[in-house]
Structure 1
Amino acid sequence: MKPESLAALVALATEPWGLDELELHSRLAVAGVTDPASALRAIALAGLAREERRRWVPTPLGHEALREAHLLLASSQDPSPSPPGMEECPSVPWLTQVQTHWVEAVSLNYAVDAARLARLLPAPLVPEIHRGTAWVQVLMSSLRDMRPQGVSPLLGVCFYQVSYRAAVRYRNARGEWRRGGYFVRSETNDPVMRRVGNALDEFRFHEFGEAHMVMAREGELLTVAADPEAAFPGGRLVGVFDTRPQTHPPQGSVWTGLEDLHEPLVECYDALGVSGDFVYVLTIDRAPWNARFCTPVELYCEYFEEGPLAPGARLDSVLHLTECAYRWRPLRRERHTVEP
């Protein structure tokens, strides 16, 4: 369908009683359609609209065409489409399709050695390379009212979480590359969330640990800390950040600005896990990140200074993120091709 015809159908569908020809021409002209009369003739000849009592309305075929156009538009804008062969496999659908809000969060963006990161990844996942290096983000966030969709926020759970998300990709059975994030480490301060997460297939992409955590604000300064339980050593994290928004990345960053790192590190909606011949994909539908560069005043991150990605890990930049709503889609999976 041509854009002019679609515009005419949309204009008619927004009015329950339809539009007369002059009203329709006027609306299409405002929308930038240069020949409204031709657009109306096209949808009439195609059986998508008809005139009733001197007003034009969509036909049932026209409504069907609008639904198909909506599905096509939604699919074209989907950041995580399902290719042929991908199937839904939620373990407990009503429980795992949850929604929540980030109150605020920090993203510590580390450039790491690709060979070291590769040793932490299950096949077929491999590091995704940007600016000549691999990347792991430490995302520490304060989450509010996590609950199954449709449940009152009063029954939600509020907690802290810190996740170490590696930028990765894999080749599926159809030979196509797909990108996402793999959690090489993750902790929460809520023991119930930890037990639930570790019991569900939806969280097969990592094992939750447990840690004492705090996020405290004093003016523009945000203090974060995570002290894991003895059973999960190596994840001590202490940071103080000046959250006054910066318009430029810090000196020494490989990124030229927020738009430059947007696709590699921000536009990541899929958490990936591997089991047998399948890659499992847990997709987050979220509002846009309100991300700004911020300045670390003090920072110690044990995982990168003494852990499996040391030496060689380098803090590139820090992002501060404010309020952001998100929800999970049902878990999906697809067969993979293991890289030689």
Structure 2
Amino acid sequence: MNSPLKNHPFAVEAFFEYSVVLTYAVPKDQLKNLIPECLELDTFDEKWAFVAVALVKTKALRPKGFPKFLGNDFFLIGYRVFVKYTNASGKRLRGLFILKSETDKRRMEFMGNIFTHYNYSTTDITLVKQGSGMLIKSLHSDFTIKIDEAEGEIPLPQDSPFTDWKEARRFAGPLPFTFTYNEINKEVLVIEGLRENWTPRPVKVVENNISFLQTLDLKGHVLANAFVITDIPYHWKKGKIEQWEK
């Protein structure tokens, strides 16, 4: 379906109660076939490309300027690849390419698939907090993520390619832009997100079992970093379409 409605026809705003993002480093050759021709992988050390799994508790998602009571509260899981795009004016933009999105609300699936290309589906999502720990799981989607936000120094994941958290923070989504590509018309849809109070905090990942990553048949991928952010006002501008030429 190539309806113009799917091209983010209006600005949207929301409030992120919290967002947990796990980023996996993958040998770059394994991700090339997952992104369209107009994009290139955002790499590190000329070896690694990255897939992020973002779990976001969102409140009052609505067209920008609408009252909050008309918004939707939902949980979002997004699977994204870190990419770069050179726009029509020659500027190089860092952003994300969406592989799949899941939500706990059928209304959000319905509306999301009308106004975006993000491939929403509905699933069960359970979240349990206990002390400094948080468990997020789904039986239908077959994932379990357990993190610990205990205070104190948190080490990077054991096999992370990064040397410190400052280096790792460069690959802590979401990034400023998200891209969609219409291969038939050779058109790139650019969506810019704007955020406030953006301070990612490193967290320890106690458990991470995510079946969707297994369906990608990745080999040699490792957990590279994990961050949490809380209480973030966020909005997306209306989508902008550019013609792409090789």
TM-score class, shorter-chain normalisation, is: 0.7 to 0.9
Matched residue of 2:150: which SS? Answer: strand
Unaligned runs of 5+ residues in structure 2 are: none
Which whole-Å CA distance do the structure 2 matches of 1:92 and 1:308 have between them? 25
Q: Distance in 2 between matches of 1:335 and 1:219?
A: 50
Query: Within 5 Å, which residues of 2 pair with 1:76-155?
Result: 91=5, 96-131=10-45, 132-155=47-70
1: CA distance between counterparts of 2:160 and 2:84?
23
Q: Distance in 2 between matches of 1:309 and 1:129?
A: 19
How many residues were matched structurally? Answer: 239
Partner in structure 2 of residue 163 of structure 1: 78
Structure 1 residue 291 and structure 2 residue 200: aligned?
yes
Match status 1:199 vs 2:107 = no
**Displaced runs of 4 or more, over 6 A:** 92-95
Change (3 A) 1:102 1:245: farther
Q: CA RMSD in A?
A: 2.4
The alignment partner of 1:150 has SS state of: coil
Deviation, 1:130, is 1.3
Shift of 1:116: 2.1
- State the Cα distance separating 1:247 from its structure 2 match: 4.2
Distance 1:207 1:266, change over 3 A: closer
Aligned to 2:105: 190
Indicate the residue corresponding to 2:179 in structure 1.
272
Is it true that 1:237 corresponds to 2:121 in the alignment?
A: no
Change (3 A) 1:262 1:299: closer
Q: CA 1:282/1:245 → structure 2, altered by over 3 Å: closer, same or farther?
A: farther
Which residue identity lines up with residue 270 of structure 1 in the other structure? F
Q: Which has the higher contact order (CA 8 A, sep 6+)?
A: 2
Task: Report the Cα offset of residue 255 of structure 1.
Answer: 2.3
- Is 1:319 matched with 2:231? no
Give 1 or 2 for the bigger CA radius of gyration. Answer: 1
Matches within 5 A, 1:242-253: 242-245=148-151, 247-250=153-156, 251-253=158-160
Distance 1:337 1:157 in 2: 38
CA deviation after TM superposition for structure 1 residue 150, in Å: 2.3
Look up the equivalent residue of 2:125 and give its one-letter code.
Answer: M
Secondary structure, aligned partner of 2:19: strand
Q: Which moved more, 1:121-130 or 1:322-331?
A: 121-130
Length-normalised TM-score, structure 2: 0.87
How far did 1:291 drift? 1.3
- Contact 1:227/1:237 (8 A) holds in 2: yes
**Which amino acid letter does the alignment assign opposite residue 24 of structure 2?**
Y
Tell me how far 1:112 sits from its aligned partner. 1.1
Picking from 252, 256, 259, the partner of 2:163 is 256
Percentage identity across aligned positions? 23
**CA gap 1:332/1:247 in 2 versus in 1, 3 angstroms:** farther
CA contact (8 A) 2:96 2:174 kept: no
SS of corresponding position for 1:199: helix
Residues 245 and 126 of structure 1: CA distance in aligned 2, closer, same or farther (over 3 Å)? farther
**Given the superposition, is the C-alpha separation of residues 183 and 94 from structure 1 closer, same or farther in structure 2, using an over 3 Å criterion?**
closer
1:138-173 Cα distance to aligned partner (Å, 9 max, x none): 000111111222222222211100001111123445
Higher helix share: 1
Whether the 8 Å CA contact 2:194–2:236 is kept in 1: the answer is yes
- Supply the distance in 2 between the matched residues of 1:177 and 1:290 (Cα, whole angstroms): 24
Contact 1:139 1:163 in 2 (8 A): yes
Q: Secondary structure at the match of 2:194?
A: strand
User: Residue in 2 aligned with 1:20?
Assistant: none
1:101-154 Cα deviation digits (max 9, x unpaired): 111121111001322211111222222111320001100011111122222222
- How much has 1:319 moved relative to structure 2? 1.1
Conserved 8 A contact 2:154-2:204: no
- Is the Cα–Cα contact under 8 Å of residues 249 and 317 in structure 1 kept in the other structure? no
Post-superposition Cα deviations, 1:181-232, rounded to whole Å, max 9, x if no partner, equal 00112111111111111112xx22x21122111222112111111344xxxx
Asked whether the 8 Å contact 1:110–1:314 carries over to 2, the reply is yes
Asked if the contact 1:165/1:182 (under 8 Å) is kept, the reply is: yes
SS of equivalent residue, structure 1 residue 323:
strand
Structure 1 pair 175–103 and aligned structure 2 pair: CA distance change class (3 A): closer
